[in-house]
Amino acid sequence: MRAWRLWMITLFALCCATSPRAFAQTTVDTQLVLAVDASGSVSQYRFELQKQGYVAALRDPRVLNAIRSGMNGSIAVSMFQWTGARLQAEVIPWMIIRDEATANAASAAVAAVPRRLFGGGTSLSGAIDYAMGLFPRGEFRGQRLVIDVSGDGSNNSGRPDTLARDEAVGKGVVINGLPILTVEPDLDDYYREHVMGGEGSFVIAIKRFEDFSEAIVKKLIAEIAMNEGVKRRRL
């Protein structure tokens, strides 16, 4: 009986050692969640401008050069669409970007994504909460965790956005904002007070949806440039 128990313990240990959770995750400089507004105020034309902005930015050699300059020379990117408090849809699972081929693959994946949501309110808190659940998934472990929230309206659904923001920041996550000022001209001030948070966080205001692409390039380069010397995440 004692020998049988010893055999079972050994077998259990071997199973644990070879389980998917036991394998080392790939370390990247940043895990970046892209939260894309698909609320009712965003027309299909404006939604496409957002999407094409990300497509162009991921292909931009300035962004790739910034990625390669990091300690690990790589980042991992995920994307979801959001509207109301419980209305989110992951459209791009975690993908690594470390060279031209992987950057093109990520860009092509974004280009192929259809719109999944069409209205339902504007819940910045719901978007932040949903983004937080994406970090533990997948095979990557970022030394820095970042959520990028783009949108054209203030929080009108779900819990207070400041609570969601503060909880995320308390876990070591940085939240940057891309407010689009076509509907609410002072939305950038709102994002600074209610959305952005964490070490080195910032807001880049976009006056028109047509300016989205260049703003994304500037934002990605700024985020990647902050990787050096940043402490490991606390999630």
114-140 pLDDT, tens per residue?
A: 999 998 899 999 999 999 999 999 899
Q: What ranges do the domains of the chain cover?
A: 25-225
Indicate if the pLDDT at residue 149 is higher than 90.
yes
Measured CA to CA, the distance from residue 21 to residue 85 in angstroms comes to 31
What is the mean pLDDT of the segment spanning 11-35?
A: 68
CB atoms near residue 22 (< 10 Å)? 9
For the 25-225 domain, the top CATH level (class) is alpha beta
Sign of CA pseudo-dihedral 202, 126, 144, 47: negative
Higher pLDDT pick, 17 / 194: 194
For residue 35, give the nearest of 81, 68, 103, 93 by alpha carbon: 81
The shares of helix, strand and coil residues in the chain, as percent rounded to the nearest 5, are 40, 25, 35
CA of residue 42 relative to chain centroid, distance? 20
pTM of the entire predicted model: 0.87
Instruction: Provide the token pair at 138.
Output: 């997948």
Q: Which residues on adjacent β-strands are paired with residue 178?
A: 150
